[in-house]
Structure 1
């Protein structure tokens, strides 16, 4: 138990590493043979796999074959399938590809299963190894500044928080000393390219026996080259991945869960997914969710398809129209609303899956085809418990327990901050899995997804939110906004206070009716819903509000929540919110804007407060317009800095009137000037977001700055 990382050597041996108080212990195995399966694609097909078996039995990369009973899908019973044991883990995919090429003749229409697993995950799944560390993992952080990232030799490197500069010998000596002192199980790197670069530096250094590895004769392995991908219309960058025997690598430029949570959150998911630390940190949410589903399938003797081929069930045109809808949305009432309460359904979509038994293996089952279980769609749901319920229910229960533990810890006189960080990391990691479970049902490449599940979940969600709306309105509350799983209400002015029902009582009643907990999320002194700039209709996800009895604001969608917004613009916008709350007057907001504009034009704003961060969507040659990103990419190229599509680039706008590379300056450069007029425009836009719920636009803001008129908030309420 507790093999936190698994290494695969070129000769076929496997190293299982277990963390101990004194370091790590490796166990060698030379008998591991990864396995994939071949079966008929169609369960109605009478397929003879003996021909393929005889071909494979002669193949030098195949150790053994056998016919075994497995389920090629959740909707299929056990049937004979061909199990293929492979000599080396790198040969699984090529051999499966050969089987697929033979599917037309003389074998028939076959499909391969359990093919495209990541290496360490496959090993843990097939051998029963638990990748959850039995003891605390030690770590060492290595970080390189952006100016060094394209250099073949580093002149500066941060080692365990200490900056080391100088020759390759000095830097490698410092790394070697830190390795000996910390003996880390985990190497946390700002970029994975640190690993090969350090080894390249050894040719110019006088350092004996430098190695990051815990295993003799193997310094490091390259697992994957860098690549660019597109997900939901957004370009992403995947850096090259490396492996150092005996140590898990966390690449801070290529990790979601470690960046969004912490190591405690990562380890919680390691225990649930059987993906060791190194593989889990670079995995996407969907990848980890799939791994948890694969573990459930494995326990049920269900094989995992290489490629998804599930057809969409037939449905008439009317059902297609009714099904092709998302969650229910009540258009927000633009403006500022006082005394607002926000109510949220706890983990609505995961709980719909579990309480309504929505799962790919039971939706539109043959045994209950005449039933109308899904509102408005006429889909049946089998009475047998779906596998997705068994996947998600433990996660829902665990997160509820963790959230309760967080509340208890915070209520203590002296909360344990380390304990709180652990709990919040675990809660955050589980939250992301629950967030993704719904959308992944409609993802075309999901191993076990089905579009009918996606449609059914939305149908239930619409019904639940409508039920809540109707009951709240009947109880004397007016709905001012609602979206998918959240609803905002304020006392209905046409109902006497004595006739209005208690909100907590109503929430309890709705909870009992829909079987999903409706929680009181927050009480606001006021909430402002922002209009769309194009039409003036309420923007669904742009609002801000003052939490009652607290100095806190809840902000969504406006500049202060956008990752590209410079710190100065964010700070001014937050100041404007404070002034709006304190004075109830746009005049105070405009006064803060006017002061900020003066600071800009006087040069009093530090350039580090004006840095913009934007994602690069394509190579430099792919841009046709001279945007700020293009100017920044040209400067980066001049400095031999590699910025790939999907990565961020940071810069300060120096002169927005120019179209050359002089339009901006990269954030690491020595910057002496900035374009005050450009940032003034950005400030006005940010203040427009604050005042637009009161009926103002940027032209009104400009006129007010010119001293035409000043009004109180009550005139626009």
Structure 2
């Protein structure tokens, strides 16, 4: 089975299969990608014969035929025009011409199976499984941030060894390592390494340098870099490159490889039919879409080029009720002893599967009189929805993997490699299950439907309220609950002998709602943090000490934020340990005071003060003189290209300034830092720790000032004596 597939400019396809000592290529010249054209509306009668005749005269069209396909899950088989083209690059341009070539009104026609990625399309249409049968070998190429914008590298890391010197020295070393290891996968810190090395070879006159396994092609550029916006966040997509015979994983442009590992990537390769390279750069939604497309393909359903599903009519009252999200209980601010956390296992995916929530069966015509969705009055057909067939195997597989992880950890001598494999696969499947709910409300989803999104939320609200009521009836007090998790502590007004066993209650709730309620954790204590400038509880900010363990669960506070400098994270975690040991704010303040002294003494290593922030726009797009702006100015001065959506790392050296002197980039030689700025950040972090006990930053500053004054008076008296 090929692990990577290359498409040459002349139309030939290379299937690369990994073997024990390298890889072999199978060459094909008979592949013709296909797209479809049919009526957008099932009630529109369209004669496709004239359009077929137009396409048959096109030089890039290999063949056409009229076939019977389903243009949607809610539609029956209909006549569709299948168009086979001579090259992948011609699919989209030819599909665009459908409306120009046809005599029918623009809105009457629709194209299907158009915008697939290259490798995925090939595997889908040829029934090719891209799951490798042999273990894939990897090799990492990396360059430091100071080299990323250069035309010629002075330093490069290959297979863990740093290489410096002339272009010829670097190229010779890289070529030798490539020939020795012959990797199936090149893991690159940035994909720009590929063209840069080849340009270096051209400039240095090194004619025989190549990363490729195919003698005729060194590399191909698949896409240019771009900036995008997703759910209000700016992202950066680097340029993508292909090296024949090897899969490229770009560490700056991979979600699944970064969040899991190669085993997690390969698990999803087998489920999505996306080859390793495409899976590595794909988003969660992209992979979920591929899995759904595979299910649609098996059912003879075509995939729309553009989503045009209208929202079903609903009364104003229903519209209001449907717009609610999952149920959330306001957390009780403060520190709570003896807390248990209960979680519904994969709540939203299991709602989809147990309640048969799927775009093709929600609000069906055959059961329109039924009120299947609580509070919304939506019906759900008795026929099994396609989304259930997509998600149930993933839910079952993850349950099996989690059970295997528990068994492996219970062994006296667990196999760490086996654990890493299982945890990688479990993590990859978790992200697919996390995304399946939001996908239903995504406007560009190929098969989503907003009514599914609304129905899932409605079921989730009912389930959480049912669990709350049953837990309280059993003698437990709910201190927080959010969508699929609920935190409880023994109700002090209920005697121990009258309180039901929590495991027994969880089992009873599981049987009642048909979704497993699991005991996630027992905490010695949990602290729920208030919102800043408010006494109300912050919904997703809390921390707690796991019972019988040295582990802390932290959510929402500074130690969990990617922008927090390591020094501040370490101090905050140290303060949590002191709070656990003493339950006293004084010990936390002593820790803070010592940290502030270290800051002002200049003894904190600057690498422990590095902040990492995402750049949301080009330098010219900023109106305020923020730290990011100062960092971008420094980067530009050093010819470092930082694009919107990418991270920039810096140390604040003088926060009072507004120029580029306000910060220093992390890779620079930094002699000093702004101790007062980092003191403020420390106090904010400690406020998060003490705020559940009623302290705010003003209280903290006042206590620090009084302590400082007391120490000064004591020192003066001792000196006089």
Instruction: Tell me by how many angstroms 1:204 deviates.
Output: 3.3
Partner of 1:496: 495
Partner of 2:670: 671
* Cα distance in 2 for residues equivalent to 1:100 and 1:681: 62
Superposition map of 1:101-120 within 5 A: 101-102=100-101, 105=104, 109-120=108-119
Superposition map of 1:299-338 within 5 A: 299-338=298-337
Partner of 2:550: 551
1:637-692 Cα offsets, whole Å, 9 max, x none, are: 00000000000000000000000000000000000100000000000000000000
SS in 2 for 1:19: strand
Partner of 2:68: 69
The gaps in structure 1 that reach 5 residues or longer are 711-717
The answer as to whether partners of 2:470 and 2:505 remain within 8 angstroms in 1 is yes
The answer as to whether partners of 1:305 and 1:447 remain within 8 angstroms in 2 is yes
Instruction: Tell me by how many angstroms 1:144 deviates.
Output: 0.3
Matched, 1:359 2:358: yes
* Cα distance in 2 for residues equivalent to 1:108 and 1:302: 21
The answer as to whether partners of 1:103 and 1:109 remain within 8 angstroms in 2 is no
Partner of 1:402: 401
Partner of 2:141: 142
* Cα distance in 2 for residues equivalent to 1:466 and 1:106: 51
* Cα distance in 2 for residues equivalent to 1:16 and 1:166: 37
Instruction: Tell me by how many angstroms 1:206 deviates.
Output: 5.3
The answer as to whether partners of 2:141 and 2:156 remain within 8 angstroms in 1 is yes
Instruction: Tell me by how many angstroms 1:706 deviates.
Output: 1.6
Partner of 2:247: 248
Residues 490 and 106 of structure 1, relative CA distance in 2, 3 Å threshold: closer
Partner of 1:34: 33
SS in 2 for 1:253: helix
SS in 1 for 2:38: strand
The answer as to whether partners of 2:612 and 2:648 remain within 8 angstroms in 1 is yes
SS in 2 for 1:309: coil
Superposition map of 1:196-275 within 5 A: 196-205=195-204, 207-275=206-274
SS in 2 for 1:362: coil
Partner of 1:25: 24
1:482-518 Cα offsets, whole Å, 9 max, x none, are: 0000000000011111100000000000000000000
Instruction: Tell me by how many angstroms 1:105 deviates.
Output: 3.6
SS in 1 for 2:168: helix
The answer as to whether partners of 2:142 and 2:158 remain within 8 angstroms in 1 is yes
The answer as to whether partners of 2:262 and 2:424 remain within 8 angstroms in 1 is yes
Superposition map of 1:162-181 within 5 A: 162-181=161-180
The answer as to whether partners of 2:73 and 2:301 remain within 8 angstroms in 1 is yes
The answer as to whether partners of 1:372 and 1:379 remain within 8 angstroms in 2 is yes
SS in 2 for 1:216: coil
1:388-424 Cα offsets, whole Å, 9 max, x none, are: 0000000000000000000000000100000000000
Partner of 1:564: 563
Instruction: Tell me by how many angstroms 1:207 deviates.
Output: 3.6
The answer as to whether partners of 2:54 and 2:101 remain within 8 angstroms in 1 is no
SS in 1 for 2:236: strand
1:438-478 Cα offsets, whole Å, 9 max, x none, are: 00000000000000000000000000000000000000000
Instruction: Tell me by how many angstroms 1:107 deviates.
Output: 8.0
Partner of 1:47: 46
SS in 2 for 1:522: strand
* Cα distance in 1 for residues equivalent to 2:322 and 2:645: 34
Matched, 1:606 2:636: no
1:258-279 Cα offsets, whole Å, 9 max, x none, are: 0000000000000000000000
Instruction: Tell me by how many angstroms 1:102 deviates.
Output: 4.6
Moved over 6 A (4+): none
Partner of 2:156: 157
Instruction: Tell me by how many angstroms 1:708 deviates.
Output: 6.6
Partner of 2:434: 435
* Cα distance in 2 for residues equivalent to 1:202 and 1:635: 30
1:222-274 Cα offsets, whole Å, 9 max, x none, are: 00000000000000000000000000000000000000000000000000000
SS in 2 for 1:3: coil
The gaps in structure 2 that reach 5 residues or longer are 710-721
1:332-391 Cα offsets, whole Å, 9 max, x none, are: 000011000000000000000000000000000000000000000000000000000000
SS in 2 for 1:129: coil
The answer as to whether partners of 1:343 and 1:520 remain within 8 angstroms in 2 is yes
Partner of 2:699: 700
* Cα distance in 2 for residues equivalent to 1:707 and 1:500: 47
* Cα distance in 2 for residues equivalent to 1:677 and 1:214: 56
Instruction: Tell me by how many angstroms 1:51 deviates.
Output: 1.1
Partner of 1:127: 126
* Cα distance in 2 for residues equivalent to 1:551 and 1:104: 72
SS in 2 for 1:25: strand
SS in 1 for 2:252: coil
SS in 2 for 1:26: strand
The answer as to whether partners of 1:47 and 1:107 remain within 8 angstroms in 2 is no
1:495-544 Cα offsets, whole Å, 9 max, x none, are: 11110000000000000000000000000011000000032200000000
* Cα distance in 2 for residues equivalent to 1:709 and 1:378: 65
TM-score norm. by structure 1 comes to 0.98
SS in 1 for 2:353: helix
SS in 1 for 2:199: helix
* Cα distance in 2 for residues equivalent to 1:684 and 1:533: 13
The answer as to whether partners of 2:528 and 2:692 remain within 8 angstroms in 1 is yes
The answer as to whether partners of 2:545 and 2:552 remain within 8 angstroms in 1 is yes
SS in 1 for 2:211: coil
* Cα distance in 1 for residues equivalent to 2:681 and 2:668: 22
The answer as to whether partners of 2:50 and 2:102 remain within 8 angstroms in 1 is no
SS in 1 for 2:18: strand
* Cα distance in 2 for residues equivalent to 1:67 and 1:102: 17
* Cα distance in 2 for residues equivalent to 1:76 and 1:593: 65
Partner of 1:714: none
Partner of 2:92: 93
The answer as to whether partners of 1:49 and 1:107 remain within 8 angstroms in 2 is no
Residues 102 and 444 of structure 1, relative CA distance in 2, 3 Å threshold: farther
The answer as to whether partners of 1:100 and 1:112 remain within 8 angstroms in 2 is no
* Cα distance in 1 for residues equivalent to 2:106 and 2:440: 32
The answer as to whether partners of 1:51 and 1:107 remain within 8 angstroms in 2 is no
Partner of 1:341: 340
1:189-223 Cα offsets, whole Å, 9 max, x none, are: 00000000001101233545110111111110000
Partner of 1:715: none
* Cα distance in 2 for residues equivalent to 1:700 and 1:181: 63
TM-score norm. by structure 2 comes to 0.97
1:309-333 Cα offsets, whole Å, 9 max, x none, are: 0000000101001100000000000
The answer as to whether partners of 1:52 and 1:107 remain within 8 angstroms in 2 is no
* Cα distance in 1 for residues equivalent to 2:103 and 2:485: 52
Residues 104 and 648 of structure 1, relative CA distance in 2, 3 Å threshold: farther
Superposition map of 1:243-642 within 5 A: 243-642=242-641
SS in 2 for 1:288: helix
Superposition map of 1:653-664 within 5 A: 653-664=652-663
The answer as to whether partners of 1:47 and 1:108 remain within 8 angstroms in 2 is no
Instruction: Tell me by how many angstroms 1:707 deviates.
Output: 2.2
The answer as to whether partners of 1:116 and 1:306 remain within 8 angstroms in 2 is yes
Partner of 2:712: none
SS in 1 for 2:524: strand
SS in 2 for 1:374: coil
